[in-house]
Amino acid sequence: MWEYKIIDSEKAEKGGFLSGRTIQQAEDYLNQLGAQGWEIIDLDFRMDPSMPGGPTHFHGVAKRPK
């Protein structure tokens, strides 16, 4: 049995923990999910081309055993 989590930075509240983060901050967040047992099964990044290294927005799906 699996448990799923939707990750969508554009759905985060303004100034939320996912919204408009740098690549490093996004990696740190994803590593936190991994430490909690989440496995990312699909992830799509969109970067702001006017700012090298961020901010970035992303969405995807994670799963872990229930």
Is residue 5's pLDDT more than 80? yes
Percent of the chain that is helix, strand, coil (3-state, to 5): 25, 40, 35
| Prediction pTM value | 0.67
Helical (H) or strand (E) element with 3: strand 2-8
Please report, for the chain, the start and end positions of each structural domain, with discontinuous segments joined by +: 2-65
Task: Using pLDDT thresholds of 50, 70 and 90, give the confidence band for residue 43.
Answer: confident
Distance (Å, whole) CA 12 – CA 23: 17
pLDDT above 70 as % of the chain: 68
Looking at the DSSP assignment, which residues form a beta bridge with residue 7?
60
The residue ranking higher by pLDDT, 8 or 40, is 40
15: left (phi over 0), alpha (psi -120 to 50) or beta: left
What does the mean pLDDT of the chain come to? 78
